[in-house]
Amino acid sequence: MTTTLSDEQIASFRERGYLQLDAITSAEEVERLRGIFDRLFAERAGWEKGRSFDLAGSDEADKTPVLPQILNPIEFAPELGDTQFRVNALAIARQLLGPTAEPWFEHAIFKPAHFGAPTPWHQDEAHRYDPGMDYEQLSIWMPLQPATVENGCMQYIPGSNRGPILEHRSLGGDPRKSALECIGDFDSAAAEPCPLPPGGAAIHHCRTLHGASANTTDIPRRAYILAFRSAPVPSANREMYPWLVGKTTPAAERAEAWRKRGGPLGRGARRIGEFTRSFAGKVKRRVRRILGN
């Protein structure tokens, strides 16, 4: 199954900033992905590396997350590399961003049943930590069960992709919260919800204002997002956004601590150290037994 956008769809994306597709992959693949997602979120995969975190809550180990997210889940489930979703998404990204479009990052979001928090209104471009670089970016958002207004489907402000980056701040003004919220001037009453069947897709430009409601239903709302960008070019006009200056999240601190401990190499070295110590302990105990003390 391959997906190609029509000229009409491409024109609509440029005008309105988003597109809605009924299917970007098969029902079988969605079911397989749901199993992988449920395992990754149950394990909180990537917690110690700061890859797994609570987007909207306090993000502490002993607190139940209200909007858990895993950045680059493919690191923890390599089988995610082999999907029709990925193939179709790249083809669509190249239609919309041009032939230089490349996969950039991906994330998995789990909005828990009954208490999953709303996703605040934001523009993805407001999250960029790379001043001095310019590129176009889009995200392809696929739900792994029906996405409805009641469980937190995407909602978009049409045409906001053609406007400027509006002012943002950390959610609730708390720089320890990972999520950003737009506090600029826009009309949230103009929002258009984008309900989808499982395996459908909502595609949005990095400037398109978007958000989602809380999950008030009995089923968790899982979404798999692939982000793409055009070839980056240096740009003197691109400065660091003021709302990112001094932002320190618990996830960033965990990532930093992980790097300081040596990352995956450090973990390997620690394991070898533990093994050597336990082996040495066993030898010592055996020698003592043999010697009778």
Residue whose CB is nearest to Ni ion in the complex, by number? 124
Q: How far is the CB of 73 from Ni ion (least distance, A)?
A: 16
* Beta carbon nearer to Ni ion, 13 or 258: 13
* Beta carbon nearer to Ni ion, 83 or 178: 178
Q: Which two tokens stand for residue 106?
A: 């991906």
Helix ranges restricted to H, the chain: 7-16, 27-43, 84-97, 250-260, 263-291
Whether 27 contacts 84, CB under 8 Å: no
Q: How far is the CB of 99 from Ni ion (least distance, A)?
A: 25
* Beta carbon nearer to Ni ion, 59 or 124: 124
* Beta carbon nearer to Ni ion, 52 or 137: 137
Work out whether 124 is an interface residue with Ni ion (CB under 5 A): yes
Find where tokens 């995407």 sit: 154
Based on its alpha-carbon atoms, the radius of gyration of the chain, rounded to whole angstroms, reads 22
Q: How far is the CB of 119 from Ni ion (least distance, A)?
A: 7
Work out whether 181 is an interface residue with Ni ion (CB under 5 A): no
Work out whether 136 is an interface residue with Ni ion (CB under 5 A): no
Single out the residue of 35, 109, 127 nearest to residue 65, CA to CA.
109
Whether 258 contacts 48, CB under 8 Å: yes
Q: Give 272's DSSP letter.
A: H
* Beta carbon nearer to Ni ion, 145 or 178: 178
Strand, helix or coil for residue 277: helix
> How many angstroms separate the CA atoms of 70 and 54, rounded?
9
Whether 25 contacts 88, CB under 8 Å: yes
What would the x/- binding string for Ni ion be over residues 67 to 106, using CB under 5 A?
A: ----------------------------------------
Q: How far is the CB of 204 from Ni ion (least distance, A)?
A: 8
Q: How far is the CB of 151 from Ni ion (least distance, A)?
A: 17
Contacting positions for Ni ion (CB under 5 A): 124
